[in-house]
């Protein structure tokens, strides 16, 4: 059986990062998009990363960012992976110094076939909401996430909470899950109990198929 990969995203302070790690999060996400209420300057993210265990993945979230800027942040913060929200085509995602997670924002008419040409380490599927890049607090049709598994590792996002995470993992059987607003006390500040509950419940559901 595979262990579910759990990412706590939108981390803005050391206390929340360390609590997530203590609760057995596999990855911490930092948002380097200035319009997000969960934005963190990369120098502050670098300070947090220095105090986290090596085995925890450190993932940077970028929105239509300049490749040079992404490379600089990867190097400065010591990121494990980049999570790219944007208009990148398949040819734009090569030659990164970190693992690449390509994000697709999913509407009801989303065609999973578009994922066929992307060679990346994982896909993250989030809810499409006009004017928002993540943190929507709403779910999408999980049948599309199930269909998307044909094209690679799927990290499920969008409106996940401690209340619905068990149903989501049971239904989709994804490689991983990603949460931000669903475990917050306020934008950019996590609720410790929600983080603990989310991770515990997410990892309580067995994954039955080979995700490699």
Question: 103-134, pLDDT tens digit by residue?
Answer: 999 989 999 999 999 999 999 999 976 555 55
Nearest CA to 158 out of 172, 150, 2 is that of 172
Tell me the per-residue pLDDT of 1-40, one tens digit each, with 9 for 90 and over: 678 999 999 999 999 999 999 999 999 999 999 999 999 9
Choose the catalytic residue: 16, 26, 126, 178.
126
Q: pLDDT band at residue 86, thresholds of 50, 70 and 90?
A: confident
Taken in order 23, 26, 31, 36, the sign of the CA dihedral is negative
What is the pTM (predicted TM-score) of this model? 0.93
**CATH fold of 5-202, please?**
TIM Barrel (3.20.20)
The yes-or-no answer on residue 23 being catalytic is no
Residue 9 known to be catalytic: yes
């Amino acid at each position: 059986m595979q262990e579910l990969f759990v990412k706590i995203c939108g981390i803005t302070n050391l206390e929340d990062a360390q609590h997530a790690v203590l609760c057995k999060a596999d990855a911490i996400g930092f948002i380097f998009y200035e319009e997000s209420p969960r934005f963190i300057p990369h120098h502050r993210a670098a300070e947090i990363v220095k105090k986290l265990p090596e085995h925890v993945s450190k993932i940077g979230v970028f929105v239509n960012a300049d490749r040079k800027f992404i490379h600089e942040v990867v190097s400065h913060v010591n990121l494990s992976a980049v999570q790219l929200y944007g208009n990148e085509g398949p040819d734009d995602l090569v030659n990164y110094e970190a693992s690449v997670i390509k994000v697709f924002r999913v509407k009801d008419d989303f065609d999973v076939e578009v994922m066929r040409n992307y060679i990346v380490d994982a896909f993250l599927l989030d809810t499409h909401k006009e004017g928002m890049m993540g943190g929507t607090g709403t779910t999408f049709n999980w049948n599309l996430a199930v269909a998307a598994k044909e094209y690679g590792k799927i990290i499920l996002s969008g409106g996940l909470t401690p209340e619905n995470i068990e149903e989501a993992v049971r239904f989709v059987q994804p490689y991983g899950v990603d949460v931000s607003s669903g475990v917050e006390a306020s934008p950019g500040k996590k609720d410790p109990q929600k983080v603990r509950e989310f991770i515990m419940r997410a990892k309580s559901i067995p994954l039955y198929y080979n995700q490699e």
